[in-house]
Amino acid sequence: MKMTVRGIIFFGIYIFLITLPLDTALLSNPARAAKPFIVEFAVGAGFIGFSLMALEFALISRIEAAAQPFGEDSLQLFHNIMGVVALGLILLHPIILVFSGYPANCWLNPFADCGNLATRTASLSLIALILLVGTSLWRKNLRIPYEAWQVMHGFLAIFVLIAALFHIFILGRYTSTDLMKVMWLIYAVLVVGLILWYKILSPILNWNKKWQVHENRAERGDAHTLVLEPVGHDGFSFEPGQYAWIKKGKTPFGVGQHPISFSSSGDVPPGGQVSFTIKKLGDWSQEQVPEIKPGDYMWIDGPHGVLSSDREQGMGYILIAGGIGITPLYSMCQTMAERGDVRPVVLFYGGNQWESLTFREELEQLSSKMDLRIVFVLSQPPEDWKGERGFINREILERHLPEQYKRFVYFICGPSPLMDAMEEALPNLGVPAEKVFSERFGMV
């Protein structure tokens, strides 16, 4: 219930800030009645679309108060959806105006002779927004490297907002009153403040928190584990199941940060090591991670995330993992074993082949130190395989869930097909929604 109340409060504030420019514009513009309804509707669509774009910065600024009610992957998904919604609303703005009689070439072509500074900034903002959303939705299809996309995404987002603000202020129709000036000042402070925090202040605070690579260990399943130790500081503990953004480099500034789950125990002593396990899934993980050497410096922004057994207490746990999604769940098991936690844990671990299961031996060793039962599920099993075959589904769950399974807490991490299957299977088994927590490891 606590998370629900926080979620409602956060979402209410979000909706209020989205509609604030439109409400203020309608209340403060004495000439609004003289405009046709269709024109005012176009203006309203533009205002709300711009507000969504401005508040998108809040969703990706790693603010725990925003992530805690929903979960980081849900927030990221919401961010992606709202980006598309904002594009649709902003597209409505010129389309409706053109159908209302405004010349299309002047509004949509930034180089048209009939255009002015107001229309050119609007057109440039729209083109940049289309590029922003398009390269985000089809980054992998376009084969844009993640680091290059990060830079492009940031610059395009800032350009869209600045060009849109220029368009709004040059027109001046909805910015002439004191009330509107105050409202736009609030938005400017909000956006600039988030950018400063995200890009400048946060790295500065991390300046004296350098980490060094102690070991780069090859794992099963085309994965590597980076073992890092703090340099000149005590490091930190974290909640098992959380993740951090990590990057290699001489300073905490710059691009190249990647969200990776911790794969070590969360109870880290002062000066202790932390580990991250990374599967070869992209350019960085395939080409750069294997080349990282002991002694290289790394930077950690974290911990982040709300998927943790420390936050959700139950009489036992059901862990469901697919592929490298085992990483945060393995961290939970290690932490429970070190603490001597006697609560039962059932782990469903799906993968392609027996030899590709990361942490297979380590998990089997943990089963002798805690009440852990492992159900391996292989989609490409060997001929003599006697375990479960195919993919984790309702039938497999029913065969292995404990008698009181509805009272257990569920943690799920893996690729989208697994997440989608569990979203259907668990409700059908009668598992209460408030007992289920998930994280899609491919959220970026």
Tens of pLDDT along 96-124? Answer: 888 887 777 776 778 877 767 888 888 89
Distance CA 142, CA 359 (A): 33
**3 state SS of 301:** strand
Please give the DSSP secondary-structure letter assigned to residue 286.
I
**pLDDT at residue 91 greater than cutoff 50:** yes
**pLDDT at residue 157 greater than cutoff 70:** yes
**Percent of the chain surpassing pLDDT 90:** 44
What is the β-pairing status of strands 345-351 and 274-279?
unpaired
Look at residues 26, 323, 46, 60 and name the one whose alpha carbon lies nearest to residue 180. Answer: 26
Sign of the alpha-carbon torsion through 92, 94, 98, 101:
positive
Q: Confidence class of residue 67 from pLDDT cuts 50, 70 and 90?
A: low
Q: What is the mean pLDDT of residues 286-303?
A: 93
**Residues with Cβ within 8 Å of residue 413, at least 6 apart in sequence:** 261, 307, 320, 321, 322, 325, 326, 327, 328, 329, 438, 439, 440, 441
**Largest alpha-carbon pair distance within the chain?**
80
- Residue bearing the bigger pLDDT, 67 or 254: 254
Please give the DSSP secondary-structure letter assigned to residue 308.
-
Phi, psi of 300 (to 5 degrees): -120, 125
Distance CA 53, CA 56 (A): 5
**3 state SS of 373:** strand
Look at residues 340, 337, 342, 344 and name the one whose alpha carbon lies nearest to residue 318. Answer: 344
Instruction: Name beta bridge partners: 317.
Output: 345, 409
- Whether omega for the bond prior to residue 203 falls within 30 degrees of 0, making it cis, is no
Distance CA 151, CA 168 (A): 26
Q: What is the mean pLDDT of residues 340-355?
A: 96
Distance CA 303, CA 64 (A): 10
Look at residues 275, 410, 273, 415 and name the one whose alpha carbon lies nearest to residue 348. Answer: 410
**What's the alpha-carbon Rg for the chain, to the nearest Å?**
25
What is the per-residue pLDDT for 329?
97
**pLDDT at residue 25 greater than cutoff 70:** no
Q: What is the mean pLDDT of residues 437-442?
A: 71
Answer yes or no: are the C-beta atoms of 121 and 166 closer than 8 Å. yes
Q: Confidence class of residue 175 from pLDDT cuts 50, 70 and 90?
A: low
Residues, the chain, total?
444
Q: What is the mean pLDDT of residues 187-194?
A: 76
Q: Confidence class of residue 444 from pLDDT cuts 50, 70 and 90?
A: very low
Q: Mean pLDDT, the chain, as a whole number?
A: 84
57-71, 196-210, 335-349, 373-387: least confidently modelled range: 57-71
Q: What is the pLDDT of residues 125-138, one digit of tens each?
A: 889 989 988 998 88
What is the per-residue pLDDT for 398?
95
Distance CA 272, CA 292 (A): 20
Which tokens hold the place of 177? 């009153």
Q: What is the mean pLDDT of residues 348-375?
A: 95
What is the per-residue pLDDT for 194?
76
**Residues with Cβ within 8 Å of residue 440, at least 6 apart in sequence:** 73, 77, 413, 414, 415, 416, 419
What is the per-residue pLDDT for 3?
47
Sketch out the chain's domains with CATH numbers: 2-205 (1.20.120), 210-304 (2.40.30.10), 317-440 (3.40.50.80)
Look at residues 227, 215, 217, 223 and name the one whose alpha carbon lies nearest to residue 356. Answer: 223
Q: What is the pLDDT of residues 389-429, one digit of tens each?
A: 999 999 999 999 999 999 999 999 998 899 999 999 999 99
